[in-house]
Amino acid sequence: MALPRILKNFNVFYNGISFAGQCTELGLPKLSRKTDSYRPGGVNGELELDLGLEKLECDHTYAGYMRDILNDFGNGKIDGAMLRFAGAYEHEDTGEIDAVEIVVRGRHKEIDFGNAKAGDKSEFKVKSSLTYYKLSINSSTVIEIDLLNMIETVNGTDMLAAQRKAVGL
């Protein structure tokens, strides 16, 4: 019987700066396909057509305001902020640790300073819109998505190579 892998600890790096002890939660990006329903003649049911990827976003929460993030708010570059999640997932049955790394680039679209109350820790919440996503497990790239360069690689297979070639990219 295999038991689950549990996130035992993590760190967040922002543009290469460690935010150890400051990031309390990271809403990892959801990977979702944009689809459209299609029911053609000769098919006895509805199909879902793949139209590419849905919007990539992530939410991150900190204990107190983060000056480095504030400095990048309104940055004109669509991929001007980089966030790296490094997580240690432990196998409950073997004690083995998997190093999971997620690197994203994008820009911040929302900053929520929360409530200010003396004597309480404040939450600083950020929502970022992403143009780049890379998931690696134990230093092996599993998924890489680069929207600006039309790259979508899954387990070593370049899913968009033929499309780039067809349109001259």
Q: Mean pLDDT across the chain, nearest whole number?
A: 94
Which pLDDT score is estimated for 111?
95
Could you tell me what percent of the chain has a pLDDT over 70? 100
- Could you read off the pLDDT of 127-162 as tens digits, one per residue? 999 999 999 999 999 999 999 999 999 999 999 999
Look at strands 140-146 and 47-53 and give their pairing: unpaired
Q: Give the mean model confidence (pLDDT) for residues 31-60.
A: 94
Q: Which residues contact 86 (CB under 8 A, 6 or more apart)?
A: 10, 11, 12, 13, 99, 100, 101
State the pLDDT at residue 89: 97
Total tally of structural domains belonging to the chain: 1
Domain that holds residue 13: 5-166
What is the C-alpha separation between 156 and 72, in angstroms, rounded?
Answer: 33
Per-residue pLDDT at 19 exceeds 80:
yes
Instruction: Write the CATH number for 127.
Output: 2.30.110
Res 133: pLDDT? 98
Q: How far is the C-alpha of 15 from the C-alpha of 44, rounded, in Å?
A: 51
Share of the chain above pLDDT 90, in %: 90
What pLDDT sits at residue 142? 98
